[in-house]
Amino acid sequence: MSARVLDGAKIRDEIQGELAGEIAALKARGVTPGLAAVLVGENPASQIYVRSKVRACEVLGLYSEKIEWPAFTTTEKLLGLVESLNRRDEIDGILVQLPLPPQVNARLVLEAVDPAKDVDGFHPMNVGRLVSGRPGAVPCTPAGIIEILKRSGIPIAGARAVVVGRSEIVGKPVALLLLHQHATVTICHSRTRDLAAVGREADILVAAMGRAAFVTGDFIQAGATVIDVGINRLTTPEEVRKAFHDPAGPLKQLESKGSVLVGDVQPEDVRKKAGAYTPVPGGVGPLTIAMLMSNTVRAARERRAGGESGTHRLPAAGNA
């Protein structure tokens, strides 16, 4: 029996369908949720991501602004921009696209965002809320992973979850979200001893380290659910041959399109060993933008209601 594919695009459409009703209700009260996306420099991947986010706003009828500044922009200039966006009432969410150029102090810029408008969930106040299980903005990709698991009927409570990668954007927050859902969670990283053996203990394996096809079948327990967060663009035949057991098809794609996308999980192995998995592309990626839209809509609603800062509410979780 082949592994079940967890279709991120289908789940994204479900979430956007639910958001449409919330947006209509807000507009009936004269409120159009607004998102400002700040892009500094000319990173091609960042340009694609921001375009996708603005397009999603257009599809759902949200107000959006794309603010593009040159790569030589200073930290001080960006701080001034963020402060001006904090003051604007029609802007409910502020997204500062990462990575920022090296001369910019990214931490200072992210901490300058009003926590109530921090739809990426990166502000220390929202991070603290996530740690303590209180309401607050949750980073979009981790929130999307939880939606994939829940909406696909994957049991989380009592499951053994292993997260490979400890980034502030994905690894740490998704581990906390899984813990709040009563999973037993292990976080792995480059210095974890016998990493593959730890991975094989997982009922839910989340790969988020940014290394193409790094997680092979040796990491996967038969029947496990594998969530592949990686998006790695291969541009040479050598990279393709290293990532795929049978590279014939991907090499043809490389020749025709100039690149091949692969996740952090070896795609042929996961199809053979997993019980369910997210493909790349089409798995976690669509949910990241869907949760950004969700966070923006909820920020608009909560700001107008005078509620607590933040958007994505964590489900109740016990301490036992």
Give the position of tokens 């109530």: 116
| The one catalytic residue among 53, 117, 172, 273 | 53
Closest to 139 (Cα-Cα) out of 117, 125, 118: 118
Return the DSSP state at 219.
G
Residue 203 known to be catalytic: no
| The one catalytic residue among 118, 120, 228, 269 | 120
Residue 97 known to be catalytic: yes
Per the CB < 8 A criterion, the answer to whether 170 and 139 are in contact is yes
Hey, how many other C-beta atoms are within 10 angstroms of the C-beta on 319?
4
Return the DSSP state at 226.
E
What phi and psi values does residue 227 have, to the nearest 5 degrees? -105, 115
**95: helix, strand or coil:** strand
Task: Determine the Cα–Cα distance for residues 211 and 195; give it in Å rounded to an integer.
Answer: 14
Helix (H) or strand (E) holding 96: strand 93-96
| The one catalytic residue among 97, 181, 221, 266 | 97
CA 35 to chain centre: 17
Closest to 221 (Cα-Cα) out of 272, 178, 186: 272
Hey, how many other C-beta atoms are within 10 angstroms of the C-beta on 59?
10
- Alpha-carbon torsion (121, 124, 127, 132), positive or negative: negative
CB burial of residue 249 (10 Å; 0-12, 13-18, 19+): exposed
| Pairing relationship of beta strands 34-40 and 4-5 according to DSSP bridges | unpaired
Tokens of 242: 């290293």
**181: helix, strand or coil:** coil
Residues tagged active-site: 53, 97, 120
